[in-house]
Amino acid sequence: MAAAGNDAGTTVSTPADYRALHAVSLAQPDDFWLPAAGAVDWTTEPTVALDRSSAPFYRWFPDATLNTSHNALDRHVDAGRGDRPALVYDSAMLGTQRTYSYSELRDEVAVFAGALADLGVGKGDRVLIYLPMIPEAVIAMLASARLGAIHSVVFGGFAPAELAARIRDARPTAIVTASGGLEPGRRVEYLPAVHEALTLAGSLGMPVVAKAREGFGHGIADYADESGPEGRWVDWDDAVSAAEAVPPVAVAATDPLYILYTSGTTGSPKGVVRDNGGHAVALTWTMRAIFGIGPGDVMLTASDVGWVVGHSYIVYGPLLAGATTVLYEGKPVGTPDAGTFGRLIEQHEVKVLFTAPTALRAVRRVDPEAALIRSHDLSSLTTLFTAGERLDTGTSAWIADVLGVPVVDNWWQTETGWPICASPRGLADLPLKPGSPSLPSPGFDVAILDHDGTPVPAGTEGSIALRLPLPPGTLTTLWGSDDRYRDSYLSAFEGYYTSGDSGYVDDDGYVFVMGRTDDVINVAGHRLSTGAIEQVLAQHPAVAECAVLGLQDPLKGQRASGYVVLKAGMAPDTDTLTAELVHLVRATIGPVADFRSVVVVEALPKTRSGKILRKTMRQMAAGEPLVVPSTIEDPSVLEALEPLLRPGPAT
């Protein structure tokens, strides 16, 4: 069973078979993951999958060596598939497209790796990448990996102070950037931000490579004399023209591939470390087993390379699989309209689309009938995957009807690097349950725990935790701080990784993720999930998206207050809408929710990756000191909400 199930080219026939396969992955990880490692090219092949000697710091494939860039590019070229498309750059912002074959992308990566080497970058050095959604972002990531260097991609447009914090923590040898990024109606200048960040970090002598883009007000020449005697601000094209291609450098499977920063509770970013070997094995396996993608297939992941979804399923996953990845520079709506996903599917013959529920809700709000998407030929599409926020059942049913394909919710985190839970479409035809990201993926041992760390019965909500060890491809530690890794993730429940999410498992083993553990509120002694209330509100035909907060109440401790954004063209009477939503919550959850307050808003504050800033809204409602997160997409949304949140609206 282990060998057969672990070959993602085969399938298991029933849910029971899948559960047996999953059990093998937990009980016999070597038997499961060593065969999976056979899909990767190794310089030194692994003989051991899991090293437990330094628990709780587990390592995968400790005796093996490889190069990730070789696996993503060279091996496909060497196998005679160099003329196949590897990367399709589709810029709605510029109205341009460009396709790179595997040979072309390999050659550009090899030469840019040479340019980085000329700037002193070598094995184990860090390269900070601050780029928009352009091909150079993918090239820079793969070039760093080619040298055995460690890249750290920072979302393009982050404020200088946030960029400086990452420079101070990662201590990169070089920075790769561009003139700027494009947003609907505006251009975001990157070079002034990089210069200010270097000044704040005390690193003005650091080499900077910048890709010039037309229409921006600042260029390399503006900073050539300001970077200090040791500084080098180099034009990307000039650096490449003077460089020679370099071969891939073999590294230990346990060596870091990248650092990806996520917000920390203390205000300082946490640098999640991903290794080379476990990452290559896990992502290669997921492409076939979870996403059903193989050589020649086309995958469109509508995210950003600055986020973990972009790392895993724009850049590395599809290329490791020998597939074609679409790099999309634009938005799901407004560039030019809400039919963008349909156009992309039709033009590029996309087999799998991966996006966030927020993007789908944005499309639904603007075009509730999805007439613009339906106007395109969607016949190439087989599956839609969503992650990043909980997928409400109303949006799921709506987009399933629009696209005519299964909608697979999947749940994971920056830290895990790939889905903790998902329906593995290339491995097993498992039934889908609305509201659930399905069963745990192989290697993930999911438990629901109470406050004392005791597992709770099926159907009971609690903290979602993962029994150690985590599978390959997950974080190995936090950059520069094993202690912070232990304190942040391993200290709450002994023997478990704490996800920070709340949820439950039903009688069939399906996981339901209800929200962050701090989104659980206490109403008159009853613990309620705001996520469960949101799921009910989202079922109303007028509601495009919503957020529910627990506001302070002098009588009951907390009370639930809903903030809803309406679909385009919907303008119901406020009292009528409130009455209907209150009735829905009472009918679905019960009077115990004591839900009475509904506020209609124009928009909800979100991060650039689409997550609603519920914690920020709670802080504002409580009158606590507020620091606007650097990840916020549009600060003006918070300003508009302030009178509605501080103090909270009366019941």
DSSP string, 385-431: EE-SS---HHHHHHHHHHH-S-EEE-B--TTT-S-SB---TTTB-PP
The arithmetic mean of pLDDT across residues 610-627, rounded, is 80
User: In this model, does residue 71 exceed pLDDT 80?
Assistant: yes
pLDDT of residue 3: 35
Q: How far is CA 416 from CA 183, 215, 293, 445, 499, in A?
A: 30, 39, 20, 13, 10
The arithmetic mean of pLDDT across residues 486-501, rounded, is 94
CA dihedral 440, 33, 389, 190 (to 10 degrees): 170
Confidence of residue 47 (pLDDT cuts 50, 70, 90): very high
User: Of 614, 593, 637, nearest to 548 (Cα)?
Assistant: 614
- State the Cα angle at 493 between 489 and 496, rounded to 5°: 65
User: In this model, does residue 265 exceed pLDDT 70?
Assistant: no
The arithmetic mean of pLDDT across residues 232-252, rounded, is 96
Contact between 612 and 604 (Cβ < 8 Å): yes
pLDDT of residue 649: 43
Q: How far is CA 489 from CA 152, 503, 504, in A?
A: 21, 17, 19
What are the structure tokens assigned to 18, written together?
A: 């899948």
Specify the length of the chain in residues: 651
pLDDT of residue 2: 32
- The Cα–Cα gap between 615 and 617 comes to 5
Q: What are phi and psi of 15, to 5 degrees?
A: -55, -35
Q: What are phi and psi of 254, to 5 degrees?
A: -85, -5
- The Cα–Cα gap between 651 and 636 comes to 26
Higher model confidence: residue 379 or residue 16? 379
Report the range of poorest mean pLDDT among 167-181, 205-219, 468-482, 508-522. Answer: 508-522
Q: 380: part of which helix (H) or strand (E)?
A: none
User: In this model, does residue 50 exceed pLDDT 50?
Assistant: yes
Q: Cis peptide leading into 56, omega within 30 of 0?
A: yes
User: In this model, does residue 526 exceed pLDDT 80?
Assistant: no
Confidence of residue 5 (pLDDT cuts 50, 70, 90): very low
User: In this model, does residue 153 exceed pLDDT 90?
Assistant: yes
The arithmetic mean of pLDDT across residues 587-593, rounded, is 75
What are the structure tokens assigned to 592, written together?
A: 């115990």
The arithmetic mean of pLDDT across residues 200-218, rounded, is 94
- The Cα–Cα gap between 76 and 406 comes to 30
pLDDT of residue 529: 72
pLDDT of residue 474: 98
Asked if residue 349 is part of any domain, the answer here is no
Contact between 363 and 342 (Cβ < 8 Å): no
List, edge to edge, every strand of the sheet that includes 496-505. 446-449, 462-467, 496-505, 511-516
What are the structure tokens assigned to 527, written together?
A: 């613990």
Asked if residue 619 is part of any domain, the answer here is yes
User: In this model, does residue 522 exceed pLDDT 70?
Assistant: no
Domain count for the chain: 2
Asked if residue 269 is part of any domain, the answer here is no
Asked if residue 570 is part of any domain, the answer here is yes
Report the range of poorest mean pLDDT among 19-23, 372-376, 399-403, 643-647. Answer: 643-647
Higher model confidence: residue 13 or residue 82? 82
Q: Which of 227, 252, 277 is the last residue of a domain?
A: 252
Asked if residue 467 is part of any domain, the answer here is no
pLDDT of residue 331: 94
Contact between 188 and 149 (Cβ < 8 Å): no
Asked if residue 216 is part of any domain, the answer here is yes
Asked if residue 435 is part of any domain, the answer here is no
What are the structure tokens assigned to 316, written together?
A: 């590395």
What are the structure tokens assigned to 331, written together?
A: 């938005």
Percent of the chain with pLDDT over 90: 72
Q: Cis peptide leading into 647, omega within 30 of 0?
A: yes
Confidence of residue 4 (pLDDT cuts 50, 70, 90): very low
User: Of 40, 210, 251, nearest to 125 (Cα)?
Assistant: 251
pLDDT of residue 13: 73
What's the 3-state SS for 585-628? HHHHCCHHHCCCEEEECCCCCEECCCCECHHHHHHHHHCCCCCC
Confidence of residue 403 (pLDDT cuts 50, 70, 90): very high
pTM over cut 0.75: yes
DSSP string, 315-376: IIHHHHTT-EEEEEES-SSSSS-TTHHHHHHHHHT-SEEEE-HHHHHHHHHH-TT-HHHHTS
User: In this model, does residue 9 exceed pLDDT 50?
Assistant: no
User: Of 467, 410, 397, nearest to 437 (Cα)?
Assistant: 410
Q: Which residues constitute the domain of residue 544?
A: 524-645
Asked if residue 600 is part of any domain, the answer here is yes
Q: Which of 198, 231, 252 is the last residue of a domain?
A: 252
- The Cα–Cα gap between 283 and 66 comes to 15
User: In this model, does residue 161 exceed pLDDT 90?
Assistant: no
Contact between 152 and 166 (Cβ < 8 Å): yes
Q: Which of 205, 221, 252 is the last residue of a domain?
A: 252
What is the CATH number for 563? 3.30.300.30
User: In this model, does residue 215 exceed pLDDT 60?
Assistant: yes
For the chain, give the mean pLDDT. 91
Q: How far is CA 337 from CA 209, 210, 304, in A?
A: 34, 31, 19
Confidence of residue 264 (pLDDT cuts 50, 70, 90): low
CA dihedral 373, 374, 375, 376 (to 10 degrees): 70
Contact between 153 and 306 (Cβ < 8 Å): yes
CB atoms < 10 A from the CB of 9, how many? 10
The arithmetic mean of pLDDT across residues 261-270, rounded, is 69
β pairing state of 233-235 and 208-211: parallel
What is the CATH number for 192? 3.40.50.980
Residue type at position 589: I
